[in-house]
Amino acid sequence: MSNLATSLQVIDTIIETALGAGLGLRPGASDLSGLDGIDDDLVAALTPLLVAADGQEHELALDLCLDWLPQGMRLLSVDEIVSIWNYELSEQDEDYEDDWHQDDDRVRGLLTHPRRVMLWGDPDFPTEGGGYLDGVPGPNGRVGQVIAAVSECDFEVVAWSLDDFFSTYAELVKSGQLVVSKGAYSWCVQPPGVEEHPDALLQAFRAHL
């Protein structure tokens, strides 16, 4: 079992203990050939996650109403990742300004790119934002960093790699720095004692960059 898979298992177990139901993770993908159009280094980074869990069950995620990822939503399957990646390719802005950067020059200022792959989001509304594996960072960023949409056109770094994201998440929930709490409209994972806010989880990760 990879380090990422172990971290994901820890997160799922703690959430199941708190809520009586886990994340509804699907069995790991056995066929990743659908990712063939995506660059090899990004596929290599994606593989441990998709082998551990091929996304989340949509129905369970809806029933549970749990916001456990920065900016909410749920993990995507291989098929959903490829579908959204192809959609975003068709919408790619080829005229973006290369010198426009965000988040202290860690993120390149563009909405879509072949080397930016959505990891979590809503497959029915792919333009609503989500989390991405970023293979085209800004000058102060790193290839393979995880970024999340914070507005319609702005992104911020959440972790320097997928492995960092899930290992940090596991450590934060094990140590009680992140807890499952009841919000006004759904359950959420955020720092204890913090007023419910959609950016609370994202900011908890950014504090550990």
Per-residue confidence (pLDDT) for residue 94, from 0 to 100: 62
Residue among 71, 15, 35, 64 at smallest CA distance from 200: 71
Per-residue confidence (pLDDT) for residue 157, from 0 to 100: 98
Instruction: Report the C-alpha gap between 142 and 122 in whole angstroms.
Output: 25
Per-residue confidence (pLDDT) for residue 78, from 0 to 100: 97
pTM of the model: 0.93
Contact 10, 25 (CB under 8 A): no
Per-residue confidence (pLDDT) for residue 81, from 0 to 100: 96
Per-residue confidence (pLDDT) for residue 204, from 0 to 100: 94
Per-residue confidence (pLDDT) for residue 103, from 0 to 100: 97
Where the chain has pLDDT below 70, the residues are 59-64, 93-99
Contact 64, 187 (CB under 8 A): yes
